[in-house]
A = this chain, B = another copy of it.
Amino acid sequence: MNKIKIALLGLGNVGKGVWEIFKNNTDEIIRRSASELEISKILVKDVNKDRGIDVPKEILTENIDDILNDDSIQIIVELMGGVDPASDYVVRAIKNKKHVVTANKQMIATQGKELLDLAKKEGVLLYYEGSVAGGIPILKGIEESLTANKIEEIVGIINGTTNYILTKMSLENMDFETALKEAQEKGYAEADPTSDIESYDAVYKLAILTSLSFGINVNVNDIYREGISKITSHDIQNAKEFGYTIKLLAIAKEKNDSLELRVHPTMIPLTHPLSNVNDSFNAILIKGNAVGDLMFYGRGAGSLPTGSAVAGDIISIVRNDMTLRSIALADNPDLQKRVLSREEFTSRYYLRLKVKDVSGVLGQISNILGKNDVSISSFIQKGQKDENNLVSIVFITHDTLEGNIMKSIEELKTLDVVDKIKNLIRVEKFI
């Protein structure tokens, strides 16, 4: 039988998952790949560290050259994360005619196009299913199955950490800080949670999804980004009263050859399937002009689920006789789509304000909204006035341009009766 040697770069959470899968599912892997696959070398920082896993010490190395210069190794699996030195190692691997599998979202989102071009030039493959939504086979789904569709829209819950926190806040009435602390204790959030909480992680993933779905190369800086730290229990409670729940959504919509790209906390109807995606689960809704609405749901992170995607990519490379093309990001250089600026977004909006409890307040606010073409769909006044004679009021608008909302907010701030704009949250209605 065909024998293929593989090297891992990194033996952290996902690396251990890949090792376990190769050990436990040997029969399946042989059956599916018609080959014997052997992890013959693993790059680690410290060969003497105890990792609580039965990897033979003799296959560990601290020297990348041991791997890159080993001609018997045909596939490199990059699982270090970050772009430095990962992307340097990947470039060198490709130039040494090795196929590459990676789960590195930051590297693919920021340098994927160049790496794929290089791989093509060198005649090797670069696969990266594990970089988006862990074990959910969303990239191959788009690139191998939905090929006859014009993709119109992608809406996803693609960050498990924030979804865990928002679930705890919604279902167990935790406040943000407590939920974050619990997520950290359970290993869902890192000591420095910025990348998840402030949505950088989701932005990388959305950039990859967008490039694959719409065929253009997306600069991650062109994606509008908001984190979840501003969401309070008040907002969660208000959302429930309006029939919504709050999720961190990554959204890409094509509108007349322009793209609306945004990641932010969003109110979605409790009746929508995405509203039941809880804890650290991920889900991605894709609308294609032929297939209609399609949803993929599963574990978006974790040792074995992400390992499943990585191992699946390895098997794809092996059984396609290593001759097939990579999954192409932005495969048409002629295709140009403009990324809309924030002012051009269209959405419904939830607006929470603290105002003085005097007569005429609503009239003044409605005037400003009306002047800016913002029309109100629902309104509630929340609770009693506080010690400063202030009350909370909450609006949900009809569809409107975000530019109009931004102008309204600037004008509302100048009103004497408005104490503070407490929050602005987009509302997705899913037509």
Query: Using a CB–CB distance below 8 Å, which chain A residues touch chain B?
Result: 17, 20-22, 24-25, 27-29, 31-33, 129, 135-137, 140-141, 144-150, 215, 273, 276-277, 288-299, 302, 304-305, 307-309, 311-312, 314-316, 319-320, 323-325, 331-332, 335
Contact = CB atoms under 8 A, between A and B. Distances in A.
A144 B291 contact: no
Contact of A309 (B136, B137, B145): B145
Given A291-B298, A296-B296, A312 B28 contact: no
Contacts of A21: 148-149, 290
5 A-B pairs with least C-beta separation: A148-B311, A137-B145, A135-B291, A290-B308, A294-B298
Given A137-B146, A290-B311, A323-B323, 10 more contacts: A25-B150, A28-B150, A32-B148, A135-B294, A144-B312, A273-B297, A291-B308, A293-B299, A296-B296, A320-B324
- Which of A137, A277, A325 has the most CB atoms of chain B within a 10 A radius of its CB? A137
20 contacts: A22-B148, A25-B290, A28-B149, A31-B332, A31-B335, A135-B292, A137-B294, A140-B141, A145-B312, A146-B312, A289-B304, A290-B304, A291-B304, A291-B305, A291-B309, A292-B302, A293-B298, A293-B299, A295-B297, A295-B298
A276 to B, nearest CB: 6
Given A140-B145, A315-B148, A290 B273 contact: no
A309 B308 CA distance: 24
A154 B21 CA distance: 20
A28 B148 contact: yes
A138 to B, nearest CB: 9
Contacts of A22: 148
Contacts of A215: 31
Contacts of A323: 323
Contacts of A324: 320, 324
Nearest to A136: B294
A314 to B, nearest CB: 8
Contacts of A295: 295-298
Given A135-B292, A294-B297, A316 B150 contact: no
Contacts of A302: 292
A332 B149 CA distance: 34
A336 B391 CA distance: 71
A288 B308 contact: yes
Given A292-B304, A295-B298, A296-B295, A147 B32 contact: yes
A147 B28 contact: yes
A136 B276 CA distance: 20
Contacts of A136: 294
A148 B29 contact: yes
B292 A305 contact: yes
B305 A290 contact: yes
Given A296-B295, A320-B324, A332-B31, A290 B17 contact: yes
A148 B136 CA distance: 13
A309 B145 CA distance: 7
A24 B319 CA distance: 34
Contacts of A147: 28-29, 32-33, 311-312, 315-316
Nearest to A32: B147
Nearest to A148: B311
A135 B29 CA distance: 27
A22 B148 CA distance: 8
Contacts of A290: 17, 20-21, 25, 135, 304-305, 307-308, 311
Contacts of A316: 144, 147
Contacts of A32: 147-148
Contacts of A273: 273, 276-277, 297
